[in-house]
């Protein structure tokens, strides 16, 4: 199994056909076809199914695909690390950013980062765990800024930057907006964000530790913050969300946190990365910028900053 064969497989998967893959890699179609045929013969499995519109991966190809991505990503990381030892600045940085930070302090952090690392190309993902953990595992993402609760400790390291309250959230005209107990809310429909592996821990964190249970069918798992917020505002579902999300669109002015008797565990915003992968200079620079804007927010006299600062407890 050779690197150029795996690169050909990746290009076909990403671009939908041999012709497009050849164009992306600046190779001939014959070279792509030859590399893939050699790989198929070596493994004794068909990796591609050709069709009139191009090619798609077979089940065997789909099985190999994540391994090919990880190998290519690890090679890219090795090149970045060696470039760093030569004193060269990294050329690209991929990070995940938790939604509320993306709508509040990210702009200021990126302005500071651009001054320090103007040549680095940034790629930003909405840092929900279902997205970020997969990209961290594959090596495509350097770090994620988001909650560390429920992380597999054997895989990931994290450093907490701040804690914030978690809230049960409802639109301002919800019929149970004055509820004071979780028991009153068990027959309602909810929307939350969680990974499949983290669902049980999240349900226990909100309900189980208070001796309560809820029907699983009552809970919608939304894998984007926009969808989650829309279901709260437009769909009338209850949400379980970081309090800073109430400062962000579309929740701002259209939803509120319920005043419940039961205490809710705080959330955190942490720098998360693979346990065996140190952050490169560009990632370290961005982390310092994130810390700077958090500190500046907590010292600010601006009304908007103060509302956010009152929700945060810094840990550095």
We report the CATH number of the domain holding residue 257 as: 3.40.190.10
Please check whether residues 189 and 226 belong to one and the same domain.
Answer: yes
Highest mean pLDDT: which of 9-13, 46-50, 198-202, 270-274? 270-274
**Confidence at 167, pLDDT banded by 50, 70, 90:** very high
Tokens 């189980």 appear where? 208
pLDDT-derived band of residue 53, with 50, 70 and 90 as boundaries? low
Predicted TM-score (pTM) of the model is 0.76
Same domain for 242 and 188, yes or no, is yes
Same domain (yes/no): 282, 143: yes
Query: Residue 129: which pLDDT band, with cuts at 50, 70 and 90?
Result: confident
- Pairing between strand 238-242 and 121-126? unpaired
Full domain range(s) for residue 244: 166-265
- The answer to whether the CB of 93 falls within 8 A of the CB of 123 is yes
- Of 265, 281, 296, at which residue does a domain stop? 265
Cα separation, 236 vs 188, whole angstroms = 10
Rounded Cα gap, residues 275 and 14, in angstroms: 28
* 273 and 158 share one domain: yes
174 and 42 both lie in a single domain: no
The CA distance from 143 to 312, in Å, is 21
222 shares a domain with 180: yes
Q: Which of 57, 81, 105 corresponds to the end of one domain?
A: 81
pLDDT confidence tier of residue 281, bands split at 50, 70 and 90: confident
Model confidence pLDDT, tens digit, residues 66-83: 888 888 877 877 776 777
Q: Are 5 and 35 in contact (CB under 8 A)?
A: yes
Residue 62 has pLDDT above 80, yes or no: yes
Q: Mind listing the pLDDT tens digit for each residue in 226-263? A: 999 999 999 999 999 999 999 999 999 999 999 999 99
236 and 254 fall within a common domain: yes
Q: Residue 87's pLDDT is what? A: 67
227 and 296 part of one domain:
no
Based on the domain organization, do 141 and 283 belong to the same domain? yes
Q: What number is the average pLDDT over the span 160-181?
A: 97
pLDDT-based confidence at residue 304 (cuts at 50, 70, 90):
confident
Number of domains in the chain: 3
Does one domain contain both 150 and 104? yes
213 vs 181: CA distance, rounded Å:
13
- Confidence label for 290 from pLDDT (cuts 50, 70 and 90): very high
Per-chain mean pLDDT for the chain? 91
Looking at the structure, tell me whether residues 74 and 7 fall in a common domain: yes
d(CA 99, CA 78): 30
Q: What's residue 280's pLDDT?
A: 86
Query: Do 158 and 273 share a domain, yes or no?
Result: yes
**Per-residue confidence (pLDDT) for residue 88, from 0 to 100:** 67
Q: Which residues contact 263 (CB under 8 A, 6 or more apart)?
A: none
Rounded Cα distance, 223 and 232, in Å:
14
């Amino acid at each position: 199994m050779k690197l150029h064969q795996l690169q050909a497989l990746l290009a076909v998967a990403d671009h939908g056909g041999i012709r497009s893959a050849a164009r992306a890699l600046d190779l001939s179609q014959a070279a792509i076809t030859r590399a893939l045929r050699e790989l198929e013969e070596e493994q004794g499995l068909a990796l591609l199914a050709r069709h009139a519109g191009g090619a798609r991966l077979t089940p065997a190809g789909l099985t190999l695909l994540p391994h090919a991505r990880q190998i290519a990503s690890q090679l890219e990381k090795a090149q970045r690390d060696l470039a760093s030892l030569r004193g060269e600045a990294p050329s690209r940085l991929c990070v995940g950013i938790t939604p509320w930070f993306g709508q509040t302090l990210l702009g200021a952090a990126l302005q500071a980062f651009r001054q320090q690392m103007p040549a680095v190309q940034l790629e930003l993902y909405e840092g929900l765990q279902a997205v970020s953990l997969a990209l961290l595992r594959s090596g495509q993402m350097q770090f994620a800024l988001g909650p560390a609760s429920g992380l597999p400790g054997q895989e990931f390291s994290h450093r907490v930057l701040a804690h914030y309250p978690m809230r049960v959230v409802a639109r301002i005209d919800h019929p149970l907006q004055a509820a004071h107990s979780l028991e009153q809310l068990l027959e309602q429909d909810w929307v939350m964000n969680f990974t499949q592996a983290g669902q049980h821990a999240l349900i226990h964190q909100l309900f189980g530790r208070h001796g309560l249970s809820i029907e699983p069918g009552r809970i919608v798992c939304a894998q984007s913050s926009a969808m989650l917020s829309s279901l709260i505002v437009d769909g009338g579902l209850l949400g379980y969300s970081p309090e800073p999300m109430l400062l962000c669109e579309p929740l701002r002015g259209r939803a509120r946190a319920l005043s419940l008797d039961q205490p809710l565990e705080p959330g955190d915003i942490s720098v998360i990365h693979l346990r065996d992968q140190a952050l490169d200079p560009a990632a370290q620079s961005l982390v310092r910028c994130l810390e700077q804007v958090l500190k500046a927010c907590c010292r600010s006299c601006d009304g908007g900053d103060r509302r956010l600062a009152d929700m945060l407890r810094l840990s550095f």
